[in-house]
Amino acid sequence: MIVRPLRILAAALAAIVTLIASMPTQADTFRPGWRFAPPPGITMTTTRPHHALALQGNAYVSPIYLRQVVSYPTHEAKGTIVVDTGSHFLYLVLGNGQALRYGIGVARSGFEWNGWHRVTRKAEWPGWTPPAEMRRRQPGLPTHMAGGPNNPLGARALYLGSTLYRIHGTNEPWSIGQNVSSGCIRMTNDDVIDLYGRVAVNTRVVVR
């Protein structure tokens, strides 16, 4: 008479264990679209953009690259973007000796440039068409990639002048603070969305 209740209890426990095992882990819920795990020490948060694609943003190696208001005496006008490639920082001039500072990834050796342009176009979840010379260097690249979390341009892009250079997000947020790009300025997706909402077409961008 005791065996039957024990069997029922065992079956119920087995069902609970199976249910728990089938539930997504916290790591799974915070890795939408990831094809591989980020390097050790990387943290990530996600937000929900307007078309419900999950962001792979706000991952960082050092807290120094977190977005923050800093002292920044400059002769540049309020609203100007200043890119300091040597220190891996982008500054949005706020006026009164202050700026909003973001961590960035910049051009690798041989692809550096400096000068100034204006933002000529803004795009949300931009598509990416690698130029012919880039495809020659990297034959595996697609001719075009639609916008989305796996796109190298990330969540937003600010196009500079008539050049191929952009300030854009990235699907490799751990590259912030490094010299890795072909000339574009990389930001985390969270940061580029923030900057995108603060600047307009025709904003002056100075790269040093």
Over residues 86-132, the pLDDT tens digits come to 999 999 999 999 999 999 999 999 889 999 999 999 999 998 777 67
51 counts as catalytic: no
- Can you say whether the dihedral through the CA atoms of 183, 189, 195, 201 is positive or negative? positive
Q: Which band of pLDDT confidence, cut at 50, 70 and 90, is reported for residue 149?
A: confident
Average pLDDT over residues 159-174: 92
Is residue 141 situated within a structural domain?
yes
Q: What is the CA radius of gyration of the chain?
A: 22
Who's near 7: CB < 8 A, 6+ residues apart? Answer: none
Question: Which conformational region is residue 45 in: left (phi greater than 0), alpha (psi within -120 to 50 degrees), or beta?
Answer: beta
pLDDT at 87: 96
Which residue out of 51, 75, 117, 168 is catalytically annotated?
A: 168
pLDDT at 158 over 70: yes
Which residue out of 50, 51, 88, 184 is catalytically annotated?
A: 184
pLDDT at 27: 35
Is residue 127 situated within a structural domain?
yes
pLDDT at 11: 64
Is residue 170 situated within a structural domain?
yes
Q: Which range has the top average pLDDT, 56-60, 71-75, 126-130? A: 71-75
CATH number, domain of 181, equals 2.40.440.10
Comparing 84-88, 171-175, 177-181, the range with the smallest average pLDDT is: 171-175
pLDDT at 150 over 90: no
Q: Which residue has the tokens 């692809």?
A: 111
Residue 144: give the domain boundaries.
63-207
Is residue 135 situated within a structural domain?
yes
pLDDT at 14: 61
Comparing 78-92, 123-137, 152-166, the range with the smallest average pLDDT is: 123-137
Closest to 172 (Cα-Cα) out of 76, 52, 39, 69: 39
Percent of the chain with pLDDT over 90: 50
pLDDT at 74 over 70: yes
Overall number of domains in the chain = 1
pLDDT at 26: 35
pLDDT at 107: 93
Is residue 1 situated within a structural domain?
no
144 counts as catalytic: no
pTM of this structure: 0.69
pLDDT at 23: 43
Is residue 14 situated within a structural domain?
no
Is residue 30 situated within a structural domain?
no
Q: Which band of pLDDT confidence, cut at 50, 70 and 90, is reported for residue 42?
A: very low
Is residue 31 situated within a structural domain?
no
